[in-house]
Structure 1
Amino acid sequence: MLTLVLPIAIGAVVLAMALNLWRMAIGPTRPDRILALDTLSINTIAVVMLLDIALGSVLYLEAALILAMMGFVGTVALCKFILSGDIIE
């Protein structure tokens, strides 16, 4: 059953990533693009976790944690840049 569901789930998340890339390309405002980038990082974490389940390796879990931390810091930095124009004051 798991061998049937995993490719479908990975395909759905990859489709969501493609739609996020489309939103990043045509987003009318900068906050829309930042939100699409944040959602793209979350979808990347989902793909890594699905690959972890499919391959049964613990290494991918650590990679997903690092991606989560980097995605959060990147989103906060971009929001701070939009609000004040400077990241480090």
Structure 2
Amino acid sequence: MLDSVIQITLFMVALALALNLWRLCLGPSLPDRILALDTMYINSIALLVLFGMYERNNLYFEAALLVAVMGFVGTVALSKYLLRGDIIE
């Protein structure tokens, strides 16, 4: 029962990831694209966690933590670049 729910949820999160990719490519402004990229990080974390639950493997949880850290750093860097035009002062 839980495996079928995880499979359905994996499909739904993958669909959300595809829609975020669409927003990233066609976003009307740069802040919309940065927000779509940030949401893609969150959806990829959800995919890794769900796949780790489905496979019953702890390695995917560690990968999700790495993606979370890199996503945070990337979002901060892009936001700083958007506001100031320079990442490092």
TM-score (normalised: structure 1): 0.98
Secondary structure of residue in 1 paired with 2:28: coil
The alpha-carbon deviation at position 36 of structure 1 amounts to 0.1
The alpha-carbon deviation at position 4 of structure 1 amounts to 1.2
Amino acid at match of 1:79: S
Cα RMSD for the two superposed structures:
0.5
The alpha-carbon deviation at position 6 of structure 1 amounts to 1.0
Residue by residue, what CA displacement relative to the aligned partner does 1:36-67 show, whole Å, maximum 9, x if unpaired?
A: 00000000000000011001111111100010
Give the length in aligned residue pairs: 89
Gaps in structure 2 of 5+ consecutive residues: none
Q: CA separation in 2, counterparts of 1:74 and 1:3?
A: 33
Amino acid at match of 1:13: V
Q: CA separation in 2, counterparts of 1:31 and 1:21?
A: 14
Counterpart for residue 9 of structure 1: 9
Percent identical pairs in the alignment equals: 58
The alpha-carbon deviation at position 26 of structure 1 amounts to 0.7
Q: CA separation in 1, counterparts of 2:58 and 2:14?
A: 22
Q: Is residue 79 of structure 2 the alignment partner of residue 79 of structure 1?
A: yes
Counterpart for residue 37 of structure 2: 37
4+ runs deviating over 2 angstroms: none
Q: CA separation in 2, counterparts of 1:66 and 1:19?
A: 23
Secondary structure of residue in 2 paired with 1:54: helix
